[in-house]
Amino acid sequence: MSHEIRELSAAETRPVRQRVLRPHQRPEELVYPGDDDHDTFHLGAVDDSGEVMAILSMYRHAQPPADPMDEPRAWRIRGMASIPEARGTGLGRLLVEQARDRVWEQSCDPIWCNARENAFGFYQKLGFEIVGGIFEIEGIGPHAVMVLSPSD
């Protein structure tokens, strides 16, 4: 089945956020800080029938540790998810690459995420590197900060 990559509203990402990332929360609870900020955008892979198969959200967020007063010279990916039926078909890669190209046209700052342990290999394939140690996010599991640097 074919698909298109298009911009989604934050609300359109929430059913997949809920299904894949946080099944213990209701879709309407899955509002991340900055979801509606000026610099934020949400991309989705949408099939012919309009079903959202994969999602990604991009924010202007400083990489931790950062002084909250600092200008956020970084981009952050959150809510990266492909529905189980679509995994391994390249949609996650397409979303990251399109989002990366779009933000780097604007400013060539590092892109970081709090990666789940099960997704380390996915981000590594896309050029991200683990920075610092493993930490636990309660209710979700082990994570690490992973960073894609413009010079890579």
Ligand X SMILES: CC(C)(COP(=O)(O)OP(=O)(O)OC[C@H]1O[C@@H](n2cnc3c(N)ncnc32)[C@H](O)[C@@H]1OP(=O)(O)O)[C@@H](O)C(=O)NCCC(=O)NCCS
75-82 and 111-116 beta bridge pairing = parallel
**Residue 6 binds to ligand X (criterion: CB under 6 A):** no
Give CA separation, 31 vs 50, 57, 112, 129, 137, in Å.
22, 11, 19, 27, 17
Interatomic CA distance for residues 121 and 139, integer angstroms: 21
- Assigned token pair, 56: 């990604």
Query: CB of 116: closest distance to ligand X in angstroms?
Result: 4
**For ligand X, which stretch binds (CB under 6 A), given 23-31, 77-85, 98-106, 128-136?**
77-85
Q: 107 vs 140, which CB is nearer to ligand X?
A: 140
**Residue 141 binds to ligand X (criterion: CB under 6 A):** no
Which residues sit at the interface with ligand X, rule CB under 6 A? 20-21, 54, 80-82, 87-93, 113, 115-116, 118-119, 121-122, 125
